[in-house]
Chains A and B, each alone.
Chain A
Amino acid sequence: MASETLDIEFRGVSKRYGDVTAVHPTDFAVPKGAFIALLGPSGCGKTTCLRMIGGFEQPTTGQVLIGGADMAEVPPYRRPVNMVFQHYALFPHFDVSANVAYGLRQVRPRLTSSEIARRTADALAMVQLAGFGKRKVHELSGGQQQRVALARALVNRPSVLLLDEPLAALDKKLRTDMQIELQNLQRELGITFVLVTHDQEEALSMSDVVCVMNGGRIVQLGAPDEIYDRPADRFVAAFVGKTNFLDGTVVENGGNAARIRLANGMEIGARLTGGGAPGAAVSVSLRPEALRLGAATGETGLGGIIRNRIFLGSTAEYAIEVPGLGTLLATADHDAARSDLLRPGDEVAISFNPGAPLAFPVADNKTTQRETSHVEVLS
């Protein structure tokens, strides 16, 4: 078996609370040294999965393996993993050093106190808090507390670091800094990171592998660009990044080269995921950055009137009212955004690459929605 190259493996793992299923039977594996993000809306089961790795929840069925060993009877304090809690869970009656050293003090046979002191100081230096050891926890800012929590977990040199929405409580600037720092730390230490987040930007920007979850199931597992460019279903397309959804019906199902008739009668080529007989209702996803705006030519293409322009610096977003299709969002980069052509009230022609539209069966979405609301009771 290849389990020695895997840090974490789920084999048919599910979790039920009474009548409610938080996680449906799930299989997945995380290779050693990977940075994986469990991404999904609240109540999708991602935190439950993380807590099953940490040992705070027991799976109802299936096995959780860490480093190839079954963790069924192993309590949290005997697992080679450490966790950064969402609200840090620092010990308020200890100073910073004592918080960081806590895990080292539990090691048997005992480490010498000089060894503990050295490793604690190293860990604090690693998170740029050298010299903060004697501070009380409540004297630190949110970002500093976050770093202490990180040092407290990493000082133990775990084989897996679990991060439960670690950046959710930080402001945007700090969050970006910490994202970069976490990425650097992960590369330097070579430890497997498992990050739980509901923030798709965070998941895409930090991890090597994104595991999108919804309604207690893994919907898609893949590299960030794969998730973004080739979403497995309508839910992923909607949850990861911004997109436009256009209603349509299948004219001809050619898989990668299907013909779809849009609500305004226009026929376009699209890649159809999930199948659909001619006549079936589909939802066509078109990313805002895939839309190109040009001067209205009067040809029989897609066109509309600019209603709003949101200038974002390097890019600008346009809300364009398209007759028969509703309002589409388009992104143009800075140069195009400066063009005199594009002002609210202007008529524009919209074009896109033939490969850009992705079509998804509509029914797919409805079942997903129902499961989501069902599971949300839990959180």
Chain B
Amino acid sequence: MMRAFVTAVYGFLYLPIALVVLFSFNAGRHASEFTGFSFQWYGRALSNTFLMEALTNSLIVATTSAGLASLCGTAAAIGLGRAGPRTRAVFDALFGAAIVVPGVVIGIATLVALVQLFGIVNPALAALWPGDTPPRLALGYGSIIAAHGLFSTALVTMIVRARLGALGRDMVEASSDLYAGPFTTFRCIVLPQILPAILAGFLLAFTFSFDDFIVAFFVAGSQTTLPIYVFASIRRGVTPEINAIGALVLAASIVLVIAAQLLLRRRTPASS
């Protein structure tokens, strides 16, 4: 009885995903009947310029936001490690909140904030700009990267903080005791030991940004990311081309998440 129940739960979870992958190899044109095995939809997907543009956008946004998040998150984690207990508690709570706040809220909040900001900055820029065509801030790459980077920074900070905590103050003090200044200590002792955590944070941030639809949908402006493209195409009818994209994204996500887990699990250099 229990076994049947568990099977049903996992079936309900994974069967649709399996079907997506299966139908991506469908020779037919409909997502409802499997008429033969074929790679044609992968070929179609890869030669679709709109799709490829959306993919490129997604890759740019994901790489940039994950890179920024890794930098800022690591810096924040190190700074917090040295902060007083009260400061630390406050910021830990804030970072935690950034992770649990629903994407819809982040999306709307970012959109409203950015529109307000542009409303103030753009006229000011126009008034102050010496040339004829003042730059105009608008929604686009920048706003998606900012929104994703914000969330991802919290993610990276949490991951790196955990690793720094395991590192302990002994290692840093030992380095300092052996005549190494703060910069050398960071470069030779701290960085090599938290690098796996930073990379894992980067990969998770990348995955999040690459898969995100909700936040991007609000702040993308005229830009199209891959999830936005997929959502838009589904409204025009599901073709196995969408399945092919889904299967590709799924495969890439799985690879990235596994890589992140492997990096995090890599034998923590024990002091014992």
Report the minimal beta-carbon distance from A188 to chain B, rounded to whole angstroms.
Answer: 22
Residues of A within 8 A of B184 (CB): 106
B176's partner among A76, A88, A91, A138 (CB-CB below 8 A) is A76
**Bound CA–CA A88/B272 (angstroms):** 9
Interface residues of A in 53-101 (CB under 8 A from B): 54-56, 75-78, 81-83, 85, 87-93
Nearest to A107 among chain B residues (CB) is B179
Residue interface mask B25-51, A partner, CB < 8 A = 1: 000000000000000000000000000
**Bound CA–CA A93/B171 (angstroms):** 11
Answer whether residue A47 sits at the interface, using C-beta atoms and an 8 A cutoff.
Answer: no
Report the minimal beta-carbon distance from A116 to chain B, rounded to whole angstroms.
Answer: 13
Asked if residues B180 and A89 are in contact (CB atoms below 8 Å), the reply is no
Asked if residues B269 and A106 are in contact (CB atoms below 8 Å), the reply is no
Nearest to B177 among chain A residues (CB) is A83
Residues of B within 8 A of A106 (CB): 178-181, 184
Asked if residues A83 and B179 are in contact (CB atoms below 8 Å), the reply is no
Residues of B within 8 A of A81 (CB): 177
Q: With A77-B180, A106-B179 given, is the CB distance from A93 to B193 under 8 Å? A: yes
Residues of A within 8 A of B180 (CB): 77, 102, 106
Residue interface mask A106-137, B partner, CB < 8 A = 1: 11000000000000000000000000000000
Answer whether residue B104 sits at the interface, using C-beta atoms and an 8 A cutoff.
Answer: no
Nearest to A79 among chain B residues (CB) is B177
Asked if residues B179 and A77 are in contact (CB atoms below 8 Å), the reply is yes
Report the minimal beta-carbon distance from A139 to chain B, rounded to whole angstroms.
Answer: 12
**Bound CA–CA A93/B168 (angstroms):** 15
Q: Is the interface of B mostly helix, strand, loop or mixed?
A: helix
Answer whether residue B16 sits at the interface, using C-beta atoms and an 8 A cutoff.
Answer: no
Asked if residues B178 and A102 are in contact (CB atoms below 8 Å), the reply is yes
**Bound CA–CA A138/B271 (angstroms):** 8
Answer whether residue A146 sits at the interface, using C-beta atoms and an 8 A cutoff.
Answer: no
Answer whether residue A152 sits at the interface, using C-beta atoms and an 8 A cutoff.
Answer: yes
Answer whether residue B270 sits at the interface, using C-beta atoms and an 8 A cutoff.
Answer: yes
Asked if residues A92 and B271 are in contact (CB atoms below 8 Å), the reply is yes
Report the minimal beta-carbon distance from A142 to chain B, rounded to whole angstroms.
Answer: 8
Answer whether residue A31 sits at the interface, using C-beta atoms and an 8 A cutoff.
Answer: no
Nearest to B268 among chain A residues (CB) is A92
Answer whether residue A14 sits at the interface, using C-beta atoms and an 8 A cutoff.
Answer: no
Answer whether residue A12 sits at the interface, using C-beta atoms and an 8 A cutoff.
Answer: no
**Bound CA–CA A232/B175 (angstroms):** 39
Residues of B within 8 A of A56 (CB): 173, 176
Q: With A77-B179, A77-B180, A102-B180 given, is the CB distance from A92 to B270 under 8 Å? A: yes
Q: With A106-B184, A138-B270 given, is the CB distance from A89 to B178 under 8 Å? A: no
Residues of A within 8 A of B177 (CB): 54, 76-77, 81-83, 153
Residues of A within 8 A of B269 (CB): 92-93, 138
**Bound CA–CA A54/B175 (angstroms):** 12
Report the minimal beta-carbon distance from A193 to chain B, rounded to whole angstroms.
Answer: 15
Residues of A within 8 A of B271 (CB): 87-90, 92
Answer whether residue A103 sits at the interface, using C-beta atoms and an 8 A cutoff.
Answer: yes
Answer whether residue A207 sits at the interface, using C-beta atoms and an 8 A cutoff.
Answer: no
A77's partner among B176, B188, B272 (CB-CB below 8 A) is B176
Residues of B within 8 A of A200 (CB): none
Answer whether residue A156 sits at the interface, using C-beta atoms and an 8 A cutoff.
Answer: yes
Asked if residues B173 and A103 are in contact (CB atoms below 8 Å), the reply is no
Asked if residues A91 and B189 are in contact (CB atoms below 8 Å), the reply is yes
**Bound CA–CA A75/B179 (angstroms):** 9
Interface residues of A in 148-206 (CB under 8 A from B): 152-153, 156
Asked if residues B176 and A152 are in contact (CB atoms below 8 Å), the reply is no
Answer whether residue B174 sits at the interface, using C-beta atoms and an 8 A cutoff.
Answer: yes
**Bound CA–CA A379/B176 (angstroms):** 23
Residues of B within 8 A of A89 (CB): 168, 170-171, 173-174, 271
Residue interface mask B179-201, A partner, CB < 8 A = 1: 11100100011001100000000
Nearest to B171 among chain A residues (CB) is A89
Report the minimal beta-carbon distance from B46 to chain A, rounded to whole angstroms.
Answer: 42
Residues of B within 8 A of A83 (CB): 173-174, 177
Asked if residues B178 and A92 are in contact (CB atoms below 8 Å), the reply is no
Residues of B within 8 A of A156 (CB): 178-179
Residues of B within 8 A of A152 (CB): 178
Residue interface mask A17-46, B partner, CB < 8 A = 1: 000000000000000000000000000000
**Bound CA–CA A289/B214 (angstroms):** 81
**Bound CA–CA A138/B180 (angstroms):** 23
Nearest to A100 among chain B residues (CB) is B178
**Bound CA–CA A89/B169 (angstroms):** 9
Residues of A within 8 A of B174 (CB): 83, 85, 89-91
Residue among A81, A89, A102 with the highest chain B CB neighbour number at 10 A: A89
Nearest to A76 among chain B residues (CB) is B176
Residues of A within 8 A of B179 (CB): 77-78, 103, 106-107, 156
In the complex, 30 of the A-B residue pairs with CB atoms within 8 angstroms, ordered by the A residue number, are A55-B176, A56-B176, A75-B176, A76-B173, A77-B178, A77-B179, A77-B181, A81-B177, A82-B177, A83-B173, A85-B170, A85-B174, A87-B271, A89-B170, A89-B171, A90-B174, A90-B271, A91-B174, A91-B175, A91-B189, A92-B193, A92-B270, A93-B269, A103-B178, A103-B179, A106-B184, A107-B179, A138-B269, A152-B178, A156-B178
Residues of B that sit less than 8 Å from A by CB: 168, 170-171, 173-181, 184, 188-189, 192-193, 269-272
Residues of A that sit less than 8 Å from B by CB: 54-56, 75-78, 81-83, 85, 87-93, 102-103, 106-107, 138, 152-153, 156
Besides A83-B174, A85-B173, A152-B178, 18 other A-B contacts (C-beta < 8 A): A54-B177, A56-B176, A77-B177, A77-B178, A77-B179, A77-B181, A78-B179, A82-B178, A87-B271, A91-B174, A92-B271, A93-B192, A102-B175, A102-B180, A103-B178, A106-B179, A106-B181, A156-B179
